[in-house]
Chains A and B, each alone.
Chain A
């Protein structure tokens, strides 16, 4: 069966520090991968998606970037965190076609 791992579960970072969140998927190949942010009391905002290694599409301009160095690895990064980057970050994967997305357990990021 397929599983998705996302870490860390919680992270507290100072403003201006770098960020690296990692997500890996097991049990499938060539998944579509996604990064979402969920601000407190708000819905899901799609940040990035990827349909293959090295292929990254950005949905909104922001202080973050994403990379996909391997087929089942998706990384969310920032060089300098802003207060507005606080939130709950979710990684997800889907198969090809009109398939549901499957989510990781999320990372709670707090910026001080």
Chain B
């Protein structure tokens, strides 16, 4: 079965510093991958998606992620953190065989804290 692992349930960075949120997946075939952001008491918002085109994917709010098949990783990065980036981030992978259901498998989430 597919799975998603987000390394680090909490990440703290200073404002202006690099943001790196780690995501590893397990899949026997190339997956479709997604990153979502969740602000307090809100739903999840799609940041970016990988659908087997370019391995470097650019998303909203200055975030990007790189698909590395050899490392089975899809880490999320942003060059310079802003206070408004403080939120919960979720990595997700499409459940293979789920093209008719659209089910996703979510990681447990990483809370990003941005210090002034």
Give a binary string over B90-116; 1 marks a CB under 8 Å from any A CB, 0 the rest.
100010001111111011110000000
**Looking at chain B, what size class is its interface with the partner chain?**
20 to 34
- B75 within 8 Å of A by Cβ? no
* Contact B34–A51 (Cβ < 8 Å): no
| Distance (whole angstroms) from the CB of A93 to the closest CB of chain B | 9
Chain B interface mostly helix, strand, loop or mixed?
loop
- Evaluate contact between B99 and A49: CB separation under 8 angstroms: no
Bound complex: CA A27 to CA B107 (Å) = 29
B17 within 8 A of A: no
- Pair A100/B34 contact, Cβ less than 8 Å: yes
Contact call A90/B43, Cβ cutoff below 8 A = yes
B49: interface (CB < 8 Å): yes
> Given the complex, which residues of A lie within 8 Å of B41, measured CB to CB?
88, 106, 108
Whether a CB of chain A sits under 8 angstroms from the CB of B44 is yes
Tally the A-B contacts, defined by beta carbons under 8 Å.
60
A102 and B101 contact, Cβ closer than 8 Å, known pairs A43-B90, A43-B107 = no
Please measure, in the bound complex, the distance between the C-alpha atom of A57 and the C-alpha atom of B90, giving whole angstroms.
Answer: 24
Task: For B56, list chain A residues within 8 Å (CB).
Answer: none
A6 to B42 Cα, complex, angstroms: 11
The answer to whether B101 touches A103, judged by C-beta atoms less than 8 angstroms apart, is: no
Encode B78-97 as 1/0 by CB contact (under 8 A) with A.
00000000000010001000
**Lowest 5 A-B CB distances belong to which pairs?**
A103-B43, A94-B102, A32-B102, A43-B108, A98-B32
